Copies of this chain bind each other. A is one copy, B any other.
């Protein structure tokens, strides 16, 4: 199987799980909120986070069925954060991935609530999964706790706060790095570490995956900065050049385009190096790292 095929295979598995998961609900009083949640959850996201979880599960010889609920919960958390980020009071984006954002379709109130509901649903799923995990209950719960930390004030949310507070201001590279580590890196780290925590692997394996996750997390954000300068609105499915417009500090404004590209390449290779000990089995994780570097949107 080549990279495209495996990527497609795993993301289809995620889609199937999420579709089935939401099909279990049919209370008429919940139809409208579910429609709004589904709209954003199935808006054509690349499913990078849940795919990473499944890929790490395979690498560690775990069962995909065991890891899928964690992967799906992370995707729900990611989706809620996008819905709220797009709100007029936040980034005020009308389009994402070429489709109207949630509040443009369902209105602002519903967008706030469907974001809230996706976050709540993620935890319902995580806790239900732990409750039904039998003798793996403690590991499942430990995994869920880790995900919650990466999503909350020590992770994604404070990253978003730093981002908002940094707009139009000169920001140090240290603050920028903190922002990226939290805003994007934290949930990507949860995606990579969730299977390792659930399967309770050795410290050396944890360390290797942790370094890999650090690398791709930072790479993801540096690449975003580069794309904002180099790509087009059409390709991105959202306005290109918005960093300059919003006077945001990025790797490109701090270090220049060529240096940013070099730094991107460096962190990608650090990530790839980290998984060398896994040998051949790590091929897909390496390819994902290169995919993050090369992606055009």
Using an 8 Å CB-CB cutoff, how does the interface string of A129-157 with B read, 1 for contact, 0 for none? 01100000110011011001101111001
In the complex, are the beta carbons of A138 and B141 less than 8 A apart? Answer: no
**Chain B CB within 10 Å, residue with most, of A29, A37, A115, A119:** A29
* A82 touches B (CB below 8 Å): no
17 contacts between A and B (CB under 8 A): A29-B158, A32-B165, A33-B153, A84-B116, A87-B89, A89-B108, A89-B112, A90-B109, A109-B164, A115-B116, A120-B151, A120-B153, A123-B123, A124-B152, A127-B127, A130-B130, A141-B141
Lowest 6 A-B CB distances belong to which pairs?
A: A89-B108, A120-B152, A123-B123, A124-B148, A117-B157, A127-B145
Q: Which of B30, B109, B127, B138 meets A144, CB within 8 Å?
A: B127
In the complex, are the beta carbons of B84 and A112 less than 8 A apart? Answer: yes
Q: Do A119 and B119 form a contact, CB below 8 Å, given A30-B158, A33-B157, A131-B142?
A: yes
Q: Do A154 and B112 form a contact, CB below 8 Å, given A124-B148, A138-B137, A148-B124?
A: no
Cβ–Cβ < 8 Å partners of A152 in chain B: 117, 120-121, 124
* A34 touches B (CB below 8 Å): yes
- How far, in whole Å, are A182 and B29 apart by their CA atoms in the complex? 10
Q: Which of B87, B153, B160 meets A121, CB within 8 Å?
A: B153
Q: A27-B154, A89-B109, A120-B153 are in contact. List 9 more A-B contacts (CB 8 A).
A: A32-B161, A89-B107, A90-B109, A110-B164, A113-B157, A113-B161, A124-B148, A127-B127, A128-B145
- How far, in whole Å, are A141 and B162 apart by their CA atoms in the complex? 33
* A178 touches B (CB below 8 Å): yes
Cβ–Cβ < 8 Å partners of A27 in chain B: 154, 158
Number of interface residues of A (CB under 8 A): 54
Using an 8 Å CB-CB cutoff, how does the interface string of A157-179 with B read, 1 for contact, 0 for none? 11011101100000000000010
Cβ–Cβ < 8 Å partners of A157 in chain B: 33, 113, 116-117, 120
In the complex, are the beta carbons of B112 and A153 less than 8 A apart? Answer: no
Using an 8 Å CB-CB cutoff, how does the interface string of A62-90 with B read, 1 for contact, 0 for none? 00000000000000000010001001111
Min CB–CB distance A172 → chain B (angstroms): 12
In the complex, are the beta carbons of A153 and B84 less than 8 A apart? Answer: no
Q: Do A153 and B123 form a contact, CB below 8 Å, given A131-B141, A164-B109?
A: no
